[in-house]
Chain A
Amino acid sequence: MAAMDDYVSESDSDYTSYWRDWFISSRGNEYFCEIDEDYLTDRFNLTGLNTEVQYYQYALDLITDVFDLDCDDEMRETIEKSARHLYGLVHARYVVTTRGLAKMLEKYKKCDFGKCPRVMCNSHPLLPMGLSDVPNLKAVKLYCARCEDVYNPKSTRHSSIDGAYFGTSFHNILFQVYPALVPAKSAERYVPRVFGFKVHAAAALVRWQNKERNDMRRRLRKMEVDSGFKDGEDELEDDEEDEEAEEGGGPARLEYRGAPGGFITGPAHDGQMGGVA
């Protein structure tokens, strides 16, 4: 494994001739890991791909660096394209193997796939994923294990990669295999406010969502499953807050606690109100 990792990171001199090395180190392909030679040469792993890929045999030869066909540039370009497609399809199968998972895990730890854009996730590392296992349908997306949601890659060079090259299962299997990596969940969230007052429509939805969350946690506790929330005591507070909110009944309500930075009073705010009037 260690030897393989060295191999991956070493993109200069001796190894530049290798197609796979060139492929994973070229710009835009940062999400891919290198597939073992052993895996590629075992035909069982490639079952069914020969019908998916044009010039399958040439493409496979190119990937495994045994390509020696003398052909014109146009043909070469076609085979090159097929090879990239084939690599992607094999990649989707490879990343769910033990070795593949370990390699992707290394990349995950290095934040090679980027960080979650959601503010409350505190730059949690992302994982690449597909929304479909069928090629040419959906582009690659990024999964955040903290908020369990799916995001678009920032860069256009990544958003053109096919999602099927990672598959719909990989990121979930990773956390099944490495349950210790499941991040602590947090109930922390953004609540829209106007001059410190919650906005009624959003606040009503937040109350409803909090109820959903508390229901889930109660359900899990009953089944004696760890809910994974790091802040075990917030449940009670949430209930309290709900009650208060019901008493309040109004569209918005002063909130003295829980606000990031607190509720501020003073001339600055008076001035602000003045600006609106």
Chain B
Amino acid sequence: MSSSSGSPESWISSFCSLLGHEYFAEVSEEFIEDDFNLTGLQTQVAMYKEALEMILDVEPEDDDDDDEEDEEEDEDISGDGRDGLTGRERRHHSRIASDLSVIESSAEMLYGLIHQRFICSRAGIQQMSEKYELNHFGVCPRTNCNMTRALPVGLSDIPGEDTVKLFCPSCLDVYVPPNSRFQTVDGAFFGRTFGALFLLTFPDYDLTKSGSEAIANIPRTADDHQNINGMWARNIAPGLGKGKVYEPKIYGFRVSEMARSGPRMQWLRKKPDDVHVLDEARYFAEEHGESDDDDESMNTPGRAIAKRRAPGNARLRQRQGQNGSPMSIEANGQETEL
């Protein structure tokens, strides 16, 4: 991947090529070397300094040139070897074996926690978008989502609580990854923020595309320029709504809601036929006049939006001419004043 971590035998790239670690991005060394990015991790990881050295392939002072490190090689069953490396020759430690295995697991934990932060940074989310385009994360198992690409997410930011899950941007739900090898990957290594932040950062991906198709940006027809609640109208849960809700039938007859076994969960897959109904802010503005224009930047955070329709309604803004470059977006929404 487009990582700046130099040689292919680095600890990071061999970690990312392990079986089951397909979802991980390669955290750049600059990111790790910036102490600010590691704030607070010392207290969360045992043998922090050693683990950090291991991740960065820094030789500890006392160095001899034996080829040992059995623990690592045991774990290194990178059968698929995506990057064509086996991790056989890596930096050498002169530590006793038990120590090494502790450091190794600490390093994995530390890497995961750094990874959680990295994929929310500019470089990291960009790298994840490349993986997304290459369909590294798999697709949504829901039939009506039509194999939409999914994103890896955690349900907790605290390690050890739950494994990694897949977030489907088409139905806004989370699923267990199909392969059991992901059931050993901690969800906290991806974190709760990444999935939603990804969609906010890259609003122009056409979420109706299936995983087998090449990912594309939303075509620029006039109709698609509808921006509702900070997202393109057609990107708001495209897998939900009319025709995408399962209707139970027996011999062609719908099962009544009044039956004990009748449908009860259709709300979960419903969407208003006209998504403009969801534009609560606009309805509020229409009801209450426009006395409160000064908080408009609050309503469109981080999005460059220019006035385009509904004259007399300052809240309704359209994004223009941005061509989806996510990195041009200022974190605190100064551009909304364009």
Q: A249-B281, A250-B299, A276-B331 are in contact. Are A194 and B196 (CB under 8 A)?
A: yes
On chain A, the residues within 8 Å of B192 by CB distance are 193, 196, 261
Is there an interface contact between B41 and A119, defined as CB atoms closer than 8 Å? no
Is there an interface contact between A251 and B172, defined as CB atoms closer than 8 Å? no
On chain A, the residues within 8 Å of B272 by CB distance are 208
Is there an interface contact between A150 and B167, defined as CB atoms closer than 8 Å? no
Find the residue from A117, A195, A201, A249 having the highest chain B CB count within 10 A: A201
Is there an interface contact between A190 and B173, defined as CB atoms closer than 8 Å? yes
- A204 interface contact, C-beta 8 A: yes
A207 to B158, CA, bound (A): 27
- A182 interface contact, C-beta 8 A: yes
A271 to B114, CA, bound (A): 10
Is there an interface contact between A225 and B258, defined as CB atoms closer than 8 Å? yes
From the candidates B156, B174, B199, B298, name the one contacting A190 in the complex (CB within 8 A).
Answer: B174
A272 to B240, CA, bound (A): 32
- Is chain A's binding surface mostly helix, strand, loop or mixed? mixed
The residue on B at minimum CB distance from A269 is B157
On chain A, the residues within 8 Å of B173 by CB distance are 118-120, 189-190
Chain B interface residue bracket vs A? 35 or more
Which segment of B8-16, B50-58, B98-106, B117-125 sits at the interface?
Answer: B117-125
Find the residue from B36, B246, B265 having the highest chain A CB count within 10 A: B265
From the candidates B193, B240, B257, name the one contacting A220 in the complex (CB within 8 A).
Answer: B257
- A-contact 0/1 string along B16-46, CB 8 Å cutoff: 0000000000000001000011111100100
- A14 interface contact, C-beta 8 A: no
Determine how close the nearest CB of chain B comes to the CB of A31; give it in whole angstroms: 16
- B314 interface contact, C-beta 8 A: no
Q: How many residues of A contact B (CB 8 A)?
A: 74
- A-contact 0/1 string along B250-270, CB 8 Å cutoff: 111001011111011111111
Determine how close the nearest CB of chain A comes to the CB of B228; give it in whole angstroms: 7
- Is chain B's binding surface mostly helix, strand, loop or mixed? loop
A212 to B242, CA, bound (A): 14
Is there an interface contact between B249 and A194, defined as CB atoms closer than 8 Å? no
On chain A, the residues within 8 Å of B269 by CB distance are 149
On chain B, the residues within 8 Å of A201 by CB distance are 228-231, 236, 278
- B93 interface contact, C-beta 8 A: no
Is there an interface contact between B44 and A268, defined as CB atoms closer than 8 Å? yes
Is there an interface contact between A267 and B231, defined as CB atoms closer than 8 Å? no
Is there an interface contact between B174 and A119, defined as CB atoms closer than 8 Å? yes
Is there an interface contact between B118 and A151, defined as CB atoms closer than 8 Å? no
From the candidates B38, B175, B178, B280, name the one contacting A119 in the complex (CB within 8 A).
Answer: B175
Which segment of A55-63, A102-110, A169-177 sits at the interface?
Answer: A169-177
Q: A205-B172, A268-B44 are in contact. Are A213 and B267 (CB under 8 A)?
A: yes
- A200 interface contact, C-beta 8 A: yes
A34 to B191, CA, bound (A): 46
- B116 interface contact, C-beta 8 A: yes
Is there an interface contact between A149 and B280, defined as CB atoms closer than 8 Å? no
Determine how close the nearest CB of chain B comes to the CB of A212; give it in whole angstroms: 4
- A185 interface contact, C-beta 8 A: yes
The residue on A at minimum CB distance from B42 is A267
11 inter-chain pairs at a CB distance below 8 angstroms, sorted by A residue, are: A120-B173, A169-B250, A190-B172, A192-B199, A195-B193, A202-B172, A208-B278, A216-B267, A260-B156, A264-B158, A270-B39
Residues of A within 8 A of B (CB): 117-120, 123, 131, 141, 143, 146-152, 154, 168-169, 171-173, 175-176, 179, 182, 185, 189-190, 192-196, 199-202, 204-210, 212-213, 216, 219-220, 223, 225-229, 246, 249-252, 260-261, 264, 266-272, 274-277
List the 6 closest A-B pairs by CB distance, nearest first. Answer: A267-B40, A271-B39, A192-B196, A175-B261, A201-B229, A261-B156
